Structure 1
Amino acid sequence: MQLASAAQRDHATALREPSMPPPLAAPRFELADARTGRIACYGEDPGAASEQRPLLLIHSVNAAATAYEMKPLFEHYRNVRPVYALDLPGFGLSDRADRIYTPRIMTDAILLAANEVRRRHGDTPIDAIALSLSCEFAARAGTEAPNLFRTLGLISPTGFDRRAEAAVKKGGDKDATRAMPWLRNIFTVPLWKHRFFSLLTSRASIRFFLRKTFGRKDIDEGLLEYDYITTHQPGAENAPYSFVSGYMFSVHALKLYQALAMPVWMVHGVRGDFVDYHGKHAVEGLPNWQIEVMQTGAMPHFEQLDKVIAGYDDFLARAAGA
């Protein structure tokens, strides 16, 4: 049997790569290493003059996650400071390889992007805002490289529910996840691997899950349409199957949050399926934490952008004066 030619291999690779518009209308660049694979990043020209610290935005993890989830914040802050965002491994225009996705891979991607942003802006510590499950990855990055981040913003972070609280009392391996290999094995059976994901990511299904996220019938229609596009690309199911099988959830996320040394801003809503913050009292009394509650779902920056910006800017002003 003859080996495939270089042209054939390039063609096969091209067929597997996403073919869709970028999630953000901004200059795009790529980073890569052996652990993360290729990740797509978006941001302003590094030569742009600005005295403001750069801001890195990190989208959540779900079946349809991309940097589009941070679009309202990106579009606002690009007018006042250098702002960057990335597609995490397995999502958007980043590498969607068929592998198990873990907190380690996601954390390494954040560190890779954050170090590049810092390099582009005179090696000054950066600000970062993460959404939902990615708050756990950002917290891990913040504990491993505390001098890389001046502040961390956490929007609707996971890891504050009753189960997380119980894990703190129980103890155990700090790197443990909630992985269920048997469940991932079921999802990845070739016979129905793609078909099941297609059912999960129909427009009707995406609308259903977004309504649970927003906690209301009215959702962002642009987000729905982009979610549909990104979930119908080659390899779109690979990272989500690790997500739904628990591989990306840290058992001891609460300990990661408690260990953060830099100023931390947290905001969460009160509507929808993601409102269990029973364990947030573990950080409420810490002097470096500022917590806000808004009358929204899990994406307050899509519902009340002005209030989110006002709260975050106030937090930054306090952090700068501390």
Structure 2
Amino acid sequence: MDKHTSPPSAAPHTPLPPALAGEHRTLGDLGYYVAGRGRPLLLVHSVNAAGSAADVRPIFEHAAQGRTVFALDLPGFGSSERSDRDYTPKLMTDAVLAMLGPIRERCGPGPVDVLGVSLGCEFVARAALEAPQAFGRVALVSPTGFSGTRTLRGPDGSTLGKPWLHRLLTAKLWSDPLYRLLTRPGVVRYFLERTWGSKRIDETLWAYCVATARQPGARFAPLAFLAGNLFSADIQRVYESIAQPVWASHGVLGDFTDYRAMSIVAGKPNWRFSVYPTGAMPYFEVPRPFFNELDNFLAAPTPAAPRPVLETV
């Protein structure tokens, strides 16, 4: 297969194959995967033009060996509904919170450990803040909201969205052609290479990204993402207010290497940090060190969570 051609599964309107080797289930308009037995772990994927639960495949496969692991397809992505609606941080956070239902049904009561990737970290953090007794330990991989010196302490629930840009991107005349251009196989490969900081990307992930971008309605959530609608303008206050134990990790290669603003939580006793010589998804590149650190973090006892209060200035 030429690297700039679509994999066979990416033909228009071809049913999307499973992203993960687990049981696929639905919860209303949400799709998710589940596998394994033991204490629950919820995974929340990154957000981009072709995001899905496929982003967390190595973590899902590893965690299923000793836990009940759940991987959510966020609204507008993967096997979840992709209708033309308002895609907001609240919609995404509510989807994370909704997963508490099937998790408790399968695993019983008790705190749920949760891991987010990139922008998914913002939804995970907000869910952990809104339901502190429901979540145990919080793992954040390459979390957004920490780049540069910009302060993100806006009003509660505010976003970085630009309404004019969203109107421009979603104009009927060109929104679909624009999205198809952004998700051509070669373009998807280019952005994955920038995520990795290398041409040695995961080919299975690339193929699934191309396939999921060919599904009906695939453009709606990504175009909201491109307009900034899914980025929270108050996220630094949210991060500072999380009461649960937090492990934040990231790489040093590619486009996602600026974490200067992480200094705002560096002194908090419930936060710990790891840096890997990789791109933004270290679990693909250095799985053993990453999983050793993740397993040690998740295995530690979780103290009773106090009731957090969103910090204000």
What is the TM-score with the length of structure 2 in the denominator?
A: 0.90
- The Cα shift of 1:17 comes to 8.0
Distance 1:189 1:280, change over 3 A: same
Q: 1:99 to 1:321 in 2, by over 3 A?
A: closer
Of residues 10, 13, 16, the one that matches 1:20 is: 16
Tell me which residue corresponds to 1:43: 34
Q: Alignment partner of 2:133: what SS?
A: helix
Amino acid of the structure 1 residue aligned with 2:294: Y
* Structure 2 unaligned spans of 5+: 1-11, 305-313
Separation (CA, whole Å) in 1 of partners of 2:211 and 2:299: 38
Conserved 8 A contact 1:18-1:93: no
Give the corresponding residue for 2:78.
92
Select the residue among 223, 233, 241 that pairs with 2:223: 241
**Aligned: 1:258 with 2:249:** no
1:316 & 1:220 partners in 2: Cα distance?
26
| Displacement after TM superposition at 1:19 (Å) | 1.6
Aligned counterpart, 1:120: 106
Letter in 2 for 1:216: S
How does 1:60-75 map onto structure 2 within 5 Å? 60-75=46-61
| Equivalent-residue separation in structure 2 for 1:321 and 1:254 (angstroms) | 23
Query: How far apart are residue 129 of structure 1 and its match?
Result: 0.6
Cα-to-partner distance string for 1:222-253 (whole Å, 9 max, x where unaligned): 11100000001100000000000000000121
Distance 2:254 2:199 in 1: 10
Q: Does 1:150 align with 2:136?
A: yes
Larger radius of gyration: 1
Give the direction of change, closer, same or farther, for the CA distance of 1:118–1:202 in structure 2 (3 Å limit): same
Runs of 4+ in 1 over 3 A off after TM superposition: 317-322
- In 2, Cα distance between equivalents of 1:252 and 1:302: 30
Counterparts of 1:189-204 in structure 2, within 5 Å, are 189-204=171-186
Deviation at 1:163, TM superposition (A): 4.8
Asked whether the 8 Å contact 1:60–1:69 carries over to 2, the reply is yes
Match of 1:284 in 2: 266
How far residue 86 of structure 1 moved from its aligned partner, in angstroms, is: 1.0
With normalisation by structure 1, the TM-score equals 0.87
Q: Unpaired runs of 5+ in structure 1?
A: 1-15, 33-37
Give distance in 2, aligned partners of 1:149 and 1:119: 15
Q: Give 1:178's match in structure 2, choosing from 160, 166, 178.
A: 160
RMSD after superposition: 1.7
In structure 1, what is the Cα distance between the partners aligned to 2:186 and 2:22?
30
State the secondary structure of the residue aligned to 1:185.
helix
**C-alpha contact 2:136 2:244 (8 A) present in aligned 1:** yes
Aligned counterparts of 2:180 and 2:13: Cα–Cα separation in 1: 18
**CA distance 1:100–1:18, change in 2 (3 Å):** farther
Q: Is the 8 A contact 2:113 2:298 kept in 1?
A: no
Which one of the candidate residues 275, 295, 298 is aligned to 1:313? 295
* In 2, Cα distance between equivalents of 1:233 and 1:176: 30
Cα offset, 1:188, TM superposition = 1.2
Letter in 2 for 1:277: Y
What SS is found at the alignment partner of 1:146? coil
- Over 3 Å counting, the alpha-carbon distance change for 1:76 and 1:86 in structure 2 is same
Identity %: 45
Query: Is the contact between residue 74 and residue 92 of structure 2 (CA under 8 Å) also seen in structure 1?
Result: yes
1:273-292 deviation line (CA, Å, top 9, x unaligned): 11110011111111111110
Q: CA contact under 8 A between 1:126 and 1:151: conserved in structure 2?
A: yes
Residue identity opposite 2:119 in structure 1: L
Residue 110 (structure 1) aligned with residue 96 (structure 2)? yes
